[in-house]
Every structure is written in C-alpha cells, then in structure tokens.
Amino acid sequence: MLRTTGRTYRQVVDQATAETGLDASKQQAGQRWRAVGLALPLIAFVLASFVAPLGTLLVRSVYDPLVADALPETLALLRAWDGTSALEEPVYATAARELLQAREERTLGQIATRVNRIKSGLRSVVTRSVRKLRNASGDSWRETMIGIDDAWGEPEVWLAIRSAGERFTLRHYINALDLMRQSDGSIARQPEERRIYLPLLWRTLAISFGISALCLAIGYPIAHLIAHAPPRRANLLLLLVLVPFWTSLLVRTTAWIVLLQTQGVINSLLVAIGLVADDGRIAMIYNMTGTFVAMTHVLLPFMVLPLYSVMRSIPPSHVRAAASLGATPFQAFWRVYWPQTLPGVGAGSLMVFILAIGYYITPALVGGSKGQLISNMIAYHMQTSLNWGLAAALAAILLVGIIALYVLYDRVVGIDRMRLG
C-alpha cells in the first residue's frame, strides 16, 4: 500500500512538473511573439527605407529591359548574326517596324538614348531615321534605311543595338571602371582622355582619408580639453561642439563661401593687415582647399564626440602612475593614454570617412571642378543625364569599397573595440 501510494505521489509530482514546464514554455513563446510584434514596425521601417532601396540600386545596375522589350524580334535576329557580315532585308524590315511602333508608344527617345550610350551619335541617327521612315514606301527597308543615313550599313550600329538590348548586363560596371567593350567582345581600358570615374573615385578616397586625418588632428586635443576641463567649462565647450548639429548644413556651407571667397572676410582681412596684395588674393574656394576646409568643419563633431566619450572614461590616475614610475609626459601619453583612446579614434575615423566619402552638398557648393567627389557624378547621372544604371553602378562600387574598409577595420582593429559612447 505504501509503495502504491509512493508511486502515485511521484506520478502526481511528475505530472505537475510537466504542466509547469509546459506553461513556462507557452509563456516564453508568448513573450517572444510579443517581442517580435513590438519589433515589427522597426523591421518594416528598415526594410522600406534601407533594404528595398539598396536592392533596387543593385538590380538597376545590372538590369535594363527597355530595349529588349521594345525590339524583341530585331534582337532575336541580331543574336544569330556573326557581327561582321552584311545584314539581310528581314533585319531591316523588323527593325523599321518595331522602331515605328516604339515611336507610337513614346519609347523611341529612351531607346535612342540607351543606344547612344553604347555608341555616341546614334541618338540623332535613330530619331531622324524613324521620322523619315513614316513616309517610306517599304519596298526595300534595307535600301531605305541606308539611304536615310549611311550609318545603318555599318556593323557597329547594329552591334550597339544588340548590346543595348541585353536585359542583364555588366555594361554599367564596365563604364564605371573606365573600361570599354571592343567589337570582338574583349574589354580594354578607355583612352586616357575619357577616363573619368576611376580618377574621381581615387580623389574621393584621398579627400576622405585627408578629412579624417584633419578631423583627428583637430578633434583629439579638443576632446581631451573637454574631457579634462571642469564641469562648467566642459559643458560650455561641448555646447560649442554641438552647435553645428543645430545649424542647417546649407547655412554652414554658405557661411564658408562668404569666408573663403576672393572678396570674402578672410582675404579682406589678409589684405588689410598687409599679408597679401589686393591683386594677389588667395583662391580658397571652388577648389580642393574649399572642399577640405568646409567638410572638415562639418564633420569635426563626429570625431570629437566619440573621442570625448572614451577619454572621459579613462581614469587620470593611469597617467599619474606612469609619471610616478619615471615616464616622460610623451611616454605617458603614447604608451598609457593613447592606447586607451584607440576605440574612440577608430569609431570617429570610421564615421568621418564613411560620411565624407558620400557627401554631396558641400563639395557641390564649394568644390568647383577640382573639388568634386564621386557623389556629385552620381547625382549628375541621376538628375541630368538620367543614366540611372551607371549611377547605380557607381553607387554600388562605392558601397563595396565601404564594406571592404569595414572588413579591413574589423580585421586590423576589431569592431568590438569601437566605442561611440
């Protein structure tokens, strides 16, 4: 009887334990689902504002279906062509019919623009020919089109149309790297006078590194001064650092134009004290100097704040202990203080560099032709030339460069050592 009662008791305990564990599991699952529900708005925001635009950017850089959708039969015939022999009448007839249809659908201008990007001058050839084809008899489309413009008899024109008709293409990346595809399909470098994007990309990287170095050289002593100042003075200095955040970027950039221009405040002051002649005023704006000065001022707070937060957490006793052990002030700084500030140095430098490499407004206003960055060329292709595929390719190359820098920083310094506050 006792054994039966004991066994029954254990069964009751096991059942109660199982029910308690089941209730706990259900409670944990409910908490997880509630946490997911609370995070859904943030996830949706990130997807809509970051992932979707980034995905669209990457897709647009390699996908362009406009010509393929407008000239499907012509492109099918051109794919079977060897690229050198004379084209037959069916190709001309099909091309004339589809180009006339594209004109009715109001896509002819976009098609001509796409083809013109492959071979310069073809936009006018296409649009002018289609205007005259409306009144053509159509007895021999080959003779008619060549009679309108001799370019239709050249294989390079049809090769350009075939190239523009590729739905998925690396053409934009080839152009962004200052390369070109030759008639035999091989890839070669552009002539030196047509190399635009790689020099601009290297200039952007050099300026970004230079601005990061300037911000570090200026921001480090400022952050040190704030971190070791009395509370009242530190708050005042920190307020001065934060003031640029409360001022419009356009206003700050315009202020530098007023200061740095030839007839500006700084030049007038130099003339007044006799350092420069009135006819020898220094050109400090609309060049590389203007870009460096204005962007360093704009991005300086992004260097000071991480450094300040790290320096504030370093006990002053460390430097005093090094000095008491016989270290000189420089040795105490370099071997004790500086290594402890490296997380802030890394965070500030990485932040300033990433912001500088993608800046647009400030270089556009103060840089002139010699102070422009790759972001200005991306904006040009987005707003003026409307070559969105090339703009997307340039932006993707810039993104890959930033990711590579991030990975390099993680390998050399370590992201876990980076501190923003």
Residue with tokens 């460390």: 318
Q: Encode 170-188: b = buried (16+ Cβ within 10 Å), e = exposed.
A: bbbbebbbbbbbeeeeeee
Q: Quick one: pLDDT at residue 205? A: 92
Do 91 and 2 lie in a common domain?
Answer: no
Do 269 and 363 lie in a common domain?
Answer: yes
Tokens standing for residue 297 = 């001022």
| 239 in Cβ contact with 226 (< 8 Å) | no
Do 118 and 206 lie in a common domain?
Answer: no
Residue 363 lies in a domain: yes
Do 47 and 90 lie in a common domain?
Answer: no
Do 35 and 1 lie in a common domain?
Answer: yes
Q: Quick one: pLDDT at residue 7? A: 53
Q: Quick one: pLDDT at residue 419? A: 57
Q: Which residues contact 230 (CB under 8 A, 6 or more apart)?
A: none
Residue 173 lies in a domain: no
Residue with tokens 């400090």: 284
What is the rounded distance in angstroms from the CA atom of residue 277 to the CA atom of residue 269? 11
Using alpha carbons, list the distances in angstroms from residue 302 to 9, 255, 295, 338, 354.
Answer: 67, 20, 11, 19, 11
Tokens standing for residue 67 = 């010509």
What is the rounded distance in angstroms from the CA atom of residue 221 to the CA atom of residue 301? 13
Do 149 and 277 lie in a common domain?
Answer: no
The dihedral formed by the CA atoms of 321, 325, 326 and 329, expressed in degrees to the nearest 10: -20
Do 38 and 112 lie in a common domain?
Answer: no
Residue type, 81: W
What is the rounded distance in angstroms from the CA atom of residue 73 to the CA atom of residue 66? 14
Do 233 and 336 lie in a common domain?
Answer: yes
Do 78 and 123 lie in a common domain?
Answer: yes
Provide φ and ψ at 187, rounded to 5°.
Answer: -110, 130
Going by the DSSP 8-state scheme, the letter that residue 48 receives in this structure is I
| 3-class SS string, 217-270 | HHHHHHHHHHHCCCHHHHHHHHHHHHHHHHCCHHHHHHHHHHHHCCCCHHHHHH
Q: What is the CATH number of the domain that holds 210?
A: 1.10.3720.10
| 219 in Cβ contact with 348 (< 8 Å) | yes
Q: What is the pLDDT along the chain (421 residues), one digit of tens a residue?
A: 444 444 565 565 556 565 565 566 667 777 778 877 888 888 889 889 888 988 998 999 999 999 999 999 999 999 999 888 889 899 999 999 999 999 999 999 999 999 998 888 999 999 999 999 888 776 789 999 999 999 999 999 999 999 999 999 999 999 999 998 877 778 889 888 888 999 999 999 999 999 999 999 999 999 999 999 998 999 999 998 888 888 888 888 889 999 988 888 898 998 999 888 888 888 888 888 889 999 999 999 999 999 999 999 899 899 889 988 888 989 999 999 999 998 899 889 989 999 999 888 888 888 877 778 899 899 999 988 889 999 999 999 999 988 888 888 778 767 666 655 5
Residue 171 lies in a domain: no
Do 323 and 292 lie in a common domain?
Answer: yes
The half-sphere exposure of 55 on its side-chain side, counting CA atoms within 13 A, is: 7
Residue 378 lies in a domain: yes
| 162 in Cβ contact with 75 (< 8 Å) | yes
Domain count across the chain: 3
Long-range contacts of 258-265 (CB under 8 A, 24+ apart): 260/284, 260/285, 260/289, 260/290, 260/293, 260/294, 260/366, 261/285
Residue 346 lies in a domain: yes
What is the rounded distance in angstroms from the CA atom of residue 77 to the CA atom of residue 94? 9
pTM of structure: 0.82
Q: Quick one: pLDDT at residue 135? A: 80
Strand 179-181 versus strand 187-189 pairing type: antiparallel
Long-range contacts of 113-121 (CB under 8 A, 24+ apart): 113/386, 114/64, 114/66, 114/67, 114/164, 115/67, 115/160, 115/161, 115/164, 117/164, 117/175, 117/387, 117/390, 118/160, 118/163, 118/164, 118/171, 119/156, 119/157, 119/160, 121/151
What is the rounded distance in angstroms from the CA atom of residue 293 to the CA atom of residue 284? 9
Residue 394 lies in a domain: yes
Burial, 66: exposed, middle or buried (Cβ in 10 Å; 0-12, 13-18, 19+)? Answer: middle
Structural domain containing residue 308: 197-417
Do 356 and 211 lie in a common domain?
Answer: yes
Residue 256 lies in a domain: yes
Residue 108 lies in a domain: yes
What is the rounded distance in angstroms from the CA atom of residue 147 to the CA atom of residue 83? 21
Q: Quick one: pLDDT at residue 204? A: 92
Q: What is the pLDDT of residues 259-291, one digit of tens each?
A: 988 888 898 998 999 888 888 888 888 888 889
Do 298 and 390 lie in a common domain?
Answer: yes
Tokens standing for residue 231 = 């509370």
What is the rounded distance in angstroms from the CA atom of residue 259 to the CA atom of residue 225? 27
Provide φ and ψ at 138, rounded to 5°.
Answer: 85, 15
